[in-house]
Chain A
């Protein structure tokens, strides 16, 4: 994927103020549709998961309301995820840069970033998270349909009911693990990331530090054009 994610008309303006467009409006909108839908599913899902967290359902209108909207919110999350897949699929393919970077993941975790191999628009960890959520939500949707319409599964195929429960729980737990790390990194660990998914912009220094190859690609594109 070249620089399709950069708004060419806005690029000059961003560049002149030292800002680079990291996420277009469409990308941000879909991220946040997905985020809110997922968080709603998370809150209500945790309420159904354990009696110790059933009070979470009360926060969002009570058990029956939570039960009614949980699957629909899941559908909304799936749709936003499919859109993100359409937008980012190309950017999320593993590259040679990722392979080099992943060998130095320990340095990345320990914030020893000076000597990290340069990464493209998304680093290997972000790509891993993307595919975790992508396959996670597909499993959650399929197994969720089994839970949603449990009575439609005939008694003779009841093993499907039990499989649905198992898959839903395992997939939910996997995405929750990814979600915790995603939120932590996007807000606390990588400062500027949260702003970028809200307003779309990052500073040139930020881009150069965290996504050097992408930064070079974007800026070179600009200078070559002008």
Chain B
């Protein structure tokens, strides 16, 4: 939304490097979501709406505490509730704050055809620039977390900005600020990783939660939002968090080798017909007399 004073690392649909790329180094910023201390109060949902200026709108009730089935173009932060059956048959309520993961290798940015519609800042925030967005929805296909959403009125894509306008001014994101239990943390990626690993170790050693661990998927180069999960071997249980997310290979092929195969094929076609014309030229129409003469 706002470029503020941040330097840019990557630009979608862009020929050549990002201007100033590699000149500045910045801390990688990161949100840490500790699902083991989330109480599902949804303060972060409200804070997100408030800071970003969206009204609360009608939603769908489907016999759950969850506000709506999934995030929408004007609802970027959603606690996903899942009644999960443990191995011993008891029930637990798993709650996970769902939002853009701010991947280090963002699939949305790779898929986007519009120059500058998606940028990644040097601090790792992946941000949509609606002024450059053409509303094609390619980012939807590129995202392994099903996050970008289309606003049918403005025909632009929207998602969590990681409060880039706050972060660039040295403030923490709105969701972090609102969390009453301290299950949300914000800082550098290194610090958050340390904190998360410490918490996971605490859960394993002190609480006997053997499978506790940190979710920071390598398939997308790591993410700018990391989770502490009770059971890191089954992230799917947390409202469909993919186990091994990666940019779909179709998208990588489409935006990689297919581009050059296709471009060469088209160039080859144009070259081919040009050479044909130079070599053989146009067909001749044979007058009737010649035809008959030739045949007899």
Contacts and interface: CB of A to CB of B under 8 A. Distances in A.
Contacts of A190: 282-283
Given A48-B138, A173-B262, 14 more contacts: A49-B262, A50-B263, A51-B13, A63-B134, A67-B135, A67-B136, A109-B276, A111-B283, A150-B141, A151-B149, A166-B250, A184-B277, A190-B283, A206-B285
Contact of B141 (A165, A176, A206): A165
Contact of A63 (B70, B114, B137): B114
A128 interface: no
Interface string B119-136: 000000000000011111
A169 B281 contact: no
Interface of A: 47-52, 54, 57, 63-64, 66-68, 109-111, 113-114, 147, 150-151, 155, 158, 161-166, 169, 173, 176-177, 180-181, 184, 188-192, 203-206, 208-210
A17 B199 CA distance: 93
A192 B155 contact: no
B285 A64 contact: no
B155 A208 contact: no
A68 B134 CA distance: 8
Contacts of B138: 48, 147
Contacts of A147: 136-138, 141
Contacts of A189: 273, 276-277, 280, 282-283
Interface string B264-292: 01100110010011001111111110010
Contacts of B266: 173, 176-177, 180
Nearest to A190: B283
A204 to B, nearest CB: 7
Give the interface size bracket for B toward A. 35 or more
21 contacts: A48-B134, A49-B259, A51-B113, A57-B134, A66-B134, A111-B280, A113-B286, A147-B136, A155-B70, A161-B140, A165-B141, A177-B269, A184-B277, A188-B277, A189-B280, A189-B283, A204-B288, A205-B285, A205-B286, A208-B288, A210-B285
Interface string B189-233: 000000000000000000000000000000000000000000000
Contacts of A66: 134
Nearest to A153: B140
Contacts of B286: 113-114, 205, 208-209
Contacts of B265: 173, 177
B248 interface: yes
Nearest to B294: A114
A161 B269 CA distance: 29
A210 B284 CA distance: 9
Contacts of A109: 276, 280
A210 B283 contact: yes
Contacts of A111: 280-284
Leading 10 A-B pairs by shortest Cβ distance: A63-B134, A162-B250, A184-B273, A180-B269, A67-B134, A150-B137, A48-B113, A51-B13, A150-B140, A111-B280
A109 B285 CA distance: 15
A209 B280 contact: no
A41 B295 CA distance: 47
Contacts of B294: 114
A50 B259 contact: yes
A180 B248 CA distance: 31
Contacts of A158: 146, 248
B115 interface: yes
B258 interface: yes
A64 B138 CA distance: 13
Contacts of B263: 50, 52
